[in-house]
Structure 1
Amino acid sequence: MSPSASFSDVVRDRRAVRSFLDKAVPDDVLRAVLDEAQLAPSNSNTQPWIVHIARGTARDRLSEALLRADDEERYSLDFPYDGSAYEGAYARRRQDQAKALLDALGVSRDDEAGRRLAARRNLEFFGAPQVALLCVPGFAGARITADAGMYAQTFLLSLAARGLGGVAQTTIGFYADTVREALGLPDDHKLLFSMSFGYPDKRWTAQTPRTYRASLEESVHFHE
């Protein structure tokens, strides 16, 4: 299937999908998405992204390993993450997004068991039959991880242009060693995050509010 929507429509309609149909993406469609993502810009054309796609039994094996690691609190991050580092408007947006998701699921903030179950859906890839693990070389720094971010955006937009959906999951980055062990990846493939993707469950997307965006005045500064 070829994309037909305008670029503006794709950008405005794309959203993070957290519920998928049990329907695998055909190889020809997946190859087209990956071909377009490969065109993402990068510093000096280094193209420093390494992508592993887990599907079928590999996907199931990985999910089971992630759930075990979570039960045992075995966390391993290749890149540090500190939620408390977000301040001001950035912290408020983060909190607002979390509240909107929990409200859509009918989970109250003081329901610790419900919140944990909701979080563990990440480790089941929200039901998506396939997941992309986005890695970078072991020597990666800020510039290289920024390049990988441009790859991820292109990948997600290409999915959306074809009526597919995806969601970037920093949660999976908390289990880097588990991912490498489950899929047999080299030690120098450093995990940033994953992107579960597939055919969206439209019943879920219909009942889930869209997150708001900051105004241009908050984010863009003109100098003349």
Structure 2
Amino acid sequence: MPTPASAFTDIVQARHSVRSFLPDPLSASDIRGVLEDAQTAPSNCNTQPWTVHIVSGAARDALSKEILRADEEGRFSPDFTFDYADFGDGAYLDRAHHHAATMTQAQGLKREDREARKVVARKGLEFFGAPHAAFLFMPTFGDGVRAAGDIGMYGQNFLLSLAARGLAGVPQTQLGFYADTVRDFLGVPEDLKLLFGISFGIADETTPVNNVRMDRMPLQQSVVLHDTPSILDA
């Protein structure tokens, strides 16, 4: 019988981003359970700044069509900036490039085949076939950083709860590039900003891209100890 610590570790290490889903919808009890788990996330001053919209069924299909249309017409409306150049020339950019190259290879794409890459990118706007998608909105308190951090913790709870149930999800910055389109469709007020979306459901285990596991840097590269027993020598 695993201890609580080992059970948690198993879930954390099993969780990964899935990019191909079965069409089968999840039960209402599973979705509610995931939302209840996500709701326990900590937040600055207990502000709980998340507003979450879930789309399924006909609403999911219709929203995907609206986002695809916005993409075709070049109607990008991100609430937050995203630019690879912001990563600088060091480790952050290297990791981003490694991730892109790994995903390109896993999907059988060639770097120079722009049309094929575009087709694959549009799968994300179809929620990778997932039957459900969650859109995470936040208010802008000050510079928004603290609220965004809270949304990140909510999203992690959401993803880990899916994994604990044998389900899968993928956080998608890409969905945030069409914030106005999503807001208009869902009737969300302008003062709530779209940080990202999560497509979720049951993973299609037959798809090669779902076998990808991105590595993580060693603790020695991210942790600095101060008067702490040495735990990084092993």
Residue 139 of structure 1: CA displacement? 3.9
Q: Deviations over 1:152-210 (max 9, x none)?
A: 00100000000000000000111000001122222222100000000000112676321
Matched AA of 1:28: S
Matches within 5 A, 1:1-224: 6-87=7-88, 88-139=90-141, 141-204=144-207, 208-224=211-227
Task: Answer whether contact 1:58 1:183 (CA < 8 A) is retained.
Answer: no
Task: Answer whether contact 1:17 1:205 (CA < 8 A) is retained.
Answer: no
How many aligned positions are there?
Answer: 221
Task: Answer whether contact 1:101 1:208 (CA < 8 A) is retained.
Answer: no
Structure whose alpha-carbon radius of gyration is higher: 2
Task: Answer whether contact 1:22 1:128 (CA < 8 A) is retained.
Answer: yes
Match of 1:59, SS?
helix
- The separation in 2 between residues aligned to 1:44 and 1:200, in whole angstroms, is 36
TM-score scaled by length of structure 1: 0.95
Name the CA shift for 1:47/1:115 in 2 (closer, same or farther; >3 Å): same
- The separation in 1 between residues aligned to 2:15 and 2:208, in whole angstroms, is 11
Task: Answer whether contact 1:22 1:129 (CA < 8 A) is retained.
Answer: yes
Name the CA shift for 1:17/1:79 in 2 (closer, same or farther; >3 Å): same
Name the CA shift for 1:207/1:46 in 2 (closer, same or farther; >3 Å): closer
RMSD over aligned Cα, in angstroms? 1.5
Matched AA of 1:215: P
Task: Answer whether contact 2:133 2:198 (CA < 8 A) is retained.
Answer: yes
Unpaired runs of at least 5, structure 2? 228-234
The range that moved more, 10-19 or 138-147, is 138-147
